[in-house]
Chains A and B, each alone.
With several copies, the nearest count.
Chain A
Amino acid sequence: MMDVTCEKFSGPFGLLLSLIESEEMDITEIALAKIADEYVAYVRANRGIDPEELADFLVIAAKLLFIKSKALLPYLYTGEEEEEINDLERQLRMYKEFVAASQKVKELVLSPRRSFLPPLTKNRRGGFNLPVFCPPAKLNAALLHERFLILLANLEKQLAKMQEEKLPEKTLEPKISIDDKIASIKQMISNKIKVNFSRLLASAATRTEVIVSFLAVLELAKQKELFFEQDELFSEILISRPADAAALNNQI
């Protein structure tokens, strides 16, 4: 169902850029709004995305959906968010320049032109009668021991940090699926007639899950599986199934 236009991309900006370029558009707010759905679909399909980079992809997905919602409902926005959108455009334009530069760097790396050094050996020093053993005068066993303990302490710190960085990724993975979230939202709605949007978000444990919930709700809205009601600006959003909503309206 999905049109896979970018087999190879490098990170969230790479994906964004290739989607915009496949539409032959410039980097503008309009372009970003236009490719938002495609981007989200791509992240959902999760093709070729390194799990460690997923969070970075989701952050961009959230920004794009924000831009899209602004394009659809401009009167809801006050102008303060303008800066953030400009910022994304600027970042993307700059990224594009560096991608172009990286192609030139690649050509240089692959071109036959290259400088060489003699192999690293001591032969070049032949003829200078250098001593074969030159220990640093102040070095001793105690100092070696001390340095090694420092090294081990640093290694342990590094390993602990890597472990820490890995943990959220593991706990995040089962929760991250937008499909799961869609299923659970559908479940919530079928059990109740209406659900508060804030309640959906309250159940999210992490920022990533908030984004995923948001994406899932938007997806359901797009598929016309959900009906949204809001009495006034910034008031609670109620989510219900279209059938129920129709039925309720008929009762009144």
Chain B
Amino acid sequence: MSLKSQVESLLFVSLKPLSLKELAAAMKAPAKELGEALDELIADYAQGNRGLAIIKNNGQYQLTTAADNAALVQEFLKDETSGELSQPSLEALTIIAYRGPIAKLELERVRGVNCSLIIRNLLLRGLIEERFDKSKNENYYTVTHDFVRFLGLGSIDELPDYLKLNSAESLNTVLAATEDKN
């Protein structure tokens, strides 16, 4: 594939702006040619009535949405994070509330489906937080202080029936099965 195509892929997956030097290193390409490919790509985006644009700032490049669509995007993102939770998200949040800290794999075991997107969505809304456990080499999830306060509680163990439900037999069984498999 051409340099232009390659650099477009990298800018798309990168979450931070990249310098010409970083891009050239990743692509093992000469900086000069790469710079030309970038200029061409920027021109393509500018001409083509596109929804994306490349911002060049302090010698760093970043792919972003076109400025003209900013209002639409802003509203879309706001709606995405402000509505009521979907049933699966609510279920995941409930499990994290009563059973946190809980690992992603454990949560998935309880729900029977992959939960990557749901976790990300709950994180984005500030309802849960992620903590990396070095000894287990895994991320663990708990509800945030903001969320506990939103529920009108002093701490999460003030949820109804917390003590009993936190150690519910069926959950223990399912999670014990998780440990076996690993």
A binds B: yes
Contact A135 B150 (CB under 8 A): yes
A175, CB-defined interface residue at 8 Å: no
A159 CB to nearest chain B CB (Å) = 6
* Residue interface mask A78-121, B partner, CB < 8 A = 1: 00000000010011011101110110111011111111111111
* Residue interface mask A123-137, B partner, CB < 8 A = 1: 111011111111111
A77, CB-defined interface residue at 8 Å: no
B45 CB to nearest chain A CB (Å) = 11
Chain B CB count within 10 A is highest, among A11, A108, A117, A136, for A117
Contact B62 A10 (CB under 8 A): no
Contact A135 B125 (CB under 8 A): yes
Contact A136 B94 (CB under 8 A): no
A156, CB-defined interface residue at 8 Å: yes
Which residues of B in the span 66-102 have a Cβ within 8 Å of any Cβ on A? 66-68, 70-71, 73-74, 77-79, 81-85, 87-88, 90-91, 93-95, 97-98
A119 CB to nearest chain B CB (Å) = 6
Known contacts A98-B110, A148-B98; A159 and B170 CB within 8 A of each other: yes
Contact A145 B112 (CB under 8 A): no
Chain B residues in 8 Å Cβ range of A139: 84-85, 90, 150-151
Chain A residues in 8 Å Cβ range of B94: 98, 101-102, 105, 144, 147-148, 151
B15, CB-defined interface residue at 8 Å: yes
B109, CB-defined interface residue at 8 Å: yes
Which residues of A in the span 144-158 have a Cβ within 8 Å of any Cβ on B? 144-145, 147-149, 151-152, 155-156
* Residue interface mask B107-149, A partner, CB < 8 A = 1: 0011111101100100111110000000000000000101111
A122, CB-defined interface residue at 8 Å: yes
A154 CB to nearest chain B CB (Å) = 9
Contact A156 B170 (CB under 8 A): yes
A137 CB to nearest chain B CB (Å) = 7
Chain A residues in 8 Å Cβ range of B171: 94, 152, 155
B49, CB-defined interface residue at 8 Å: no
Candidates B98, B111, B165; contact of A13 at CB < 8 Å: B111
How large, as a class, is the contact surface on chain B?
Answer: 35 or more
Contact A142 B160 (CB under 8 A): yes
* Residue interface mask B150-182, A partner, CB < 8 A = 1: 111100001111000100101101100100000
B16, CB-defined interface residue at 8 Å: yes
Chain A residues in 8 Å Cβ range of B125: 133-135
Chain A residues in 8 Å Cβ range of B147: 133, 135
A209 to B6, CA, bound (A): 62
B13, CB-defined interface residue at 8 Å: yes
A145 to B93, CA, bound (A): 11
Closest to B11 in A: A118
A23, CB-defined interface residue at 8 Å: no
A21 CB to nearest chain B CB (Å) = 15
A243 to B117, CA, bound (A): 50
Closest 4 CB pairs of A and B: A113-B152, A109-B83, A133-B126, A115-B64
